[in-house]
């Protein structure tokens, strides 16, 4: 399939994010014309300071608040050349919040429904596809019995978690799961009821790790998942592996996530599909094994754990049946194949990117 984006206009939301920075990089590389949203002028400037060569390749527009009235309408009205595609990535992904409903669920859901409405009303006939960055957390069951492996998840599964459960337990990981599940469900519901002329593809990745190319200003700029899955074993957060658990035990590299989004724009096989993105297993022990083997200078500060025991005691995560998604991904790639970056490369490249910024002393 042709990968060229020359002459095609894409609207990308949340361009300063961990994943969106990689998407933006590929869009520019493939020649797309890009309009990108960020929450402030300062964040747009930050992106260009980090990637000076992108200066004339992307136009920034500001969307500060998804819960305001029609925040995307003017972007579609004033797009100049109409958009051919939308990639919506912006959504809250920080677990340190005090109000799950207001800081997680509402912005995720309203961001998605408001941009879909704007796309339908003002997008015009050139708009062919809306690609939503969803999550595996809207597929898996937050309450699965982690002590025994269940039936593998497929594209047909939906997380039964509710806002009431997340709020009653004041559990922000559950709150995040609700935010992604409700946002994705709202997108499919919109497609069914509003019947817009464009179609929808949702990409559902599990934990995303890998190198960071977004603007970095200190340890807090490390994105949430690279922090809990990798940096927290280097920065002293965890001094031992025993007792450390992850909320989920499968991962995918950020470069595969970005590639899947850009490939999905023109892939006929992706029409109105969910696409599961799962590379393989990840666990605290697997991560520290890779860091200790590949970064001798970090060995003293990274706990050893029990190198032969991949998963925490009592953890048998349910797997994924990704055959349908794999076919869609292969169909969209330049050579008809889809191969994932493995855990070792993802962790090594992530650690190198963390070290190169000099933010962990
Ligand atoms: N990382 C993962 O493991 C993972 C896995 C599956 C799915 N995802 C999804 O991937 C997307 C990007 O995640 P990421 O890891 O790249 O996280 P990230 O670096 O935190 O990026 C999130 C982006 O969303 C924007 N955003 C957050 N809350 C917002 C709000 N209330 N209003 C407007 N914009 C808001 C952020 O803007 P500011 O920087 O200005 O706050 C940022 O641009 C999210 O939809 C996430 O759910 C991530």
Mean pLDDT of the chain: 97
Q: Is the pLDDT reported for residue 3 higher than 80?
A: yes
pTM: 0.98
What atom of ligand 1 comes closest to residue 137's alpha carbon?
6
Q: How confident is the model at residue 361 (pLDDT cuts 50, 70, 90)?
A: low
What atom of ligand 1 comes closest to residue 94's alpha carbon?
20
Q: Whose CA is nearest to atom 7 of ligand 1?
A: 135
**Ligand 1 pocket residue status of 91, Cβ below 6 Å:** yes
Q: How far apart are CA 40 and CA 16, in angstroms?
A: 10
Range of the domain at 115: 9-210+251-279+318-339
DSSP track, 231-286: GGGTSSS-S-STT---S-SEEEEHHHHHHHHHHHHT-GGGTTEEEEE--EE--HHH
Q: How far apart are CA 262 and CA 316, in angstroms?
A: 33
Query: What angle (nearest 5°) sits at the alpha carbon of residue 6, between those of residues 188 and 64?
Result: 50
Q: What is the pLDDT of residues 16-55, one digit of tens each?
A: 999 999 999 999 999 999 999 999 999 999 999 999 999 9
338 and 330 in contact (C-beta within 8 Å)?
yes
Q: How far apart are CA 2 and CA 7, in angstroms?
A: 13
Judge whether 52 lies within some domain.
yes
What atom of ligand 1 comes closest to residue 107's alpha carbon?
31
Q: Is the pLDDT reported for residue 358 higher than 90?
A: no
Q: What's the first-to-final CA gap in the chain, in angstroms?
A: 45
Residue 133 alpha carbon to ligand 1 centre in Å: 9
What atom of ligand 1 comes closest to residue 39's alpha carbon?
40
CATH number, residue 259: 3.40.50.720
Q: Is the pLDDT reported for residue 1 higher than 80?
A: no
Residue 65 alpha carbon to ligand 1 centre in Å: 14
Judge whether 41 lies within some domain.
yes
Judge whether 129 lies within some domain.
yes
Q: How far apart are CA 45 and CA 33, in angstroms?
A: 18
Q: How far apart are CA 359 and CA 352, in angstroms?
A: 12
Q: What is the pLDDT of residues 233-252, one digit of tens each?
A: 999 999 999 999 999 999 99
The total of structural domains in the chain comes to 1
pLDDT value at residue 344: 98
% helix, strand, coil for the chain, step of 5: 40, 15, 45
Q: What is the mean pLDDT of residues 275-297?
A: 98
Q: Is the pLDDT reported for residue 2 higher than 80?
A: no
Q: Do strands 85-88 and 33-38 pair parallel, antiparallel, or not at all (unpaired)? A: unpaired
Q: Do strands 199-205 and 129-133 pair parallel, antiparallel, or not at all (unpaired)? A: parallel
Residue 17 alpha carbon to ligand 1 centre in Å: 6
**Ligand 1 pocket residue status of 13, Cβ below 6 Å:** no
Judge whether 346 lies within some domain.
no
Judge whether 122 lies within some domain.
yes
Residue 289 alpha carbon to ligand 1 centre in Å: 28
**Ligand 1 pocket residue status of 133, Cβ below 6 Å:** yes
Residue 96 alpha carbon to ligand 1 centre in Å: 14
Q: How far apart are CA 197 and CA 213, in angstroms?
A: 34
Q: What is the mean pLDDT of residues 141-146?
A: 95
Q: Whose CA is nearest to atom 42 of ligand 1?
A: 17
Residues in the chain: 361
60 and 39 in contact (C-beta within 8 Å)?
no
Q: How far apart are CA 88 and CA 11, in angstroms?
A: 8
Q: What is the pLDDT of residues 151-183, one digit of tens each?
A: 999 999 999 999 999 999 999 999 999 999 999
pLDDT value at residue 299: 95
- Nearest Cα neighbor of 242 from 296, 307, 297, 290 is 307
Q: 95: buried, middle or exposed (CB in 10 Å: 19+, 13-18, 0-12)?
A: middle
Judge whether 224 lies within some domain.
no
Residue 306 alpha carbon to ligand 1 centre in Å: 33
Which of 19, 87, 173, 213 for mutating ligand 1's site (highest number of atoms within 8 Å of CB)?
19
Q: Is the pLDDT reported for residue 322 higher than 90?
A: yes
**Ligand 1 pocket residue status of 92, Cβ below 6 Å:** yes
Judge whether 105 lies within some domain.
yes
Judge whether 115 lies within some domain.
yes
Q: Whose CA is nearest to atom 44 of ligand 1?
A: 91
304 and 233 in contact (C-beta within 8 Å)?
no
**Ligand 1 pocket residue status of 223, Cβ below 6 Å:** yes
For 150, the enclosing helix (H) or strand (E) is none
């Amino acid at each position: 399939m042709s990968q060229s984006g020359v002459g095609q206009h894409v609207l990308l939301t949340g361009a300063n994010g961990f994943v969106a920075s990689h998407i933006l990089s590929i869009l520019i590389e493939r020649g797309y014309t890009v309009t990108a949203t960020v929450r402030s002028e300062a964040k747009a400037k930050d992106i260009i300071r980090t990637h000076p060569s992108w200066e004339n390749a992307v136009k920034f527009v500001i969307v500060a608040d998804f819960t305001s009235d029609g925040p995307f309408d003017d972007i579609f009205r004033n797009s100049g050349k109409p958009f051919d595609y939308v990639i919506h990535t912006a959504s809250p992904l920080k677990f340190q919040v005090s109000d799950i409903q207001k800081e997680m669920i509402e912005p995720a859901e309203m961001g998605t429904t408001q941009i879909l409405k704007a796309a339908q009303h003002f997008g015009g006939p050139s708009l062919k596809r809306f690609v939503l960055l969803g999550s595996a957390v809207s597929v898996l069951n937050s309450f699965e019995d982690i002590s025994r492996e269940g039936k593998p998840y497929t594209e047909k599964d939906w997380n039964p978690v509710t806002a009431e459960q997340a709020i009653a337990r004041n559990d922000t990981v559950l709150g995040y799961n609700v935010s992604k599940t409700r946002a994705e469900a709202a997108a499919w519901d919109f497609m069914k009821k509003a019947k817009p002329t464009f179609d929808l593809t949702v990409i559902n990745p599990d934990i995303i790790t890998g190198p960071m190319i977004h603007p970095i200003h200190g340890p807090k700029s490390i994105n949430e998942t690279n922090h809990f899955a990798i940096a927290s074993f280097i920065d002293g957060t965890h001094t031992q592996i025993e007792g450390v658990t992850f909320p989920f035990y499968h991962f995918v590299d950020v470069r595969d996530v970005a590639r899947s989004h850009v490939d999905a724009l023109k892939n006929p096989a992706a029409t109105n599909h969910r696409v599961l993105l799962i590379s393989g297993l990840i666990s605290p022990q697997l991560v520290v094994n890779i860091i200790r083997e590949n970064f001798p200078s970090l060995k003293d500060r990274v706990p050893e754990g029990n190198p032969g025991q991949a998963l925490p005691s009592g953890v048998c995560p349910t797997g994924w049946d990704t055959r349908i998604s794999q076919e869609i991904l292969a169909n969209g790639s330049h050579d008809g194949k889809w191969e994932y970056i493995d855990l070792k490369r993802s962790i090594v490249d992530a650690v190198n990117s963390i070290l190169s910024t000099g933010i962990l002393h």
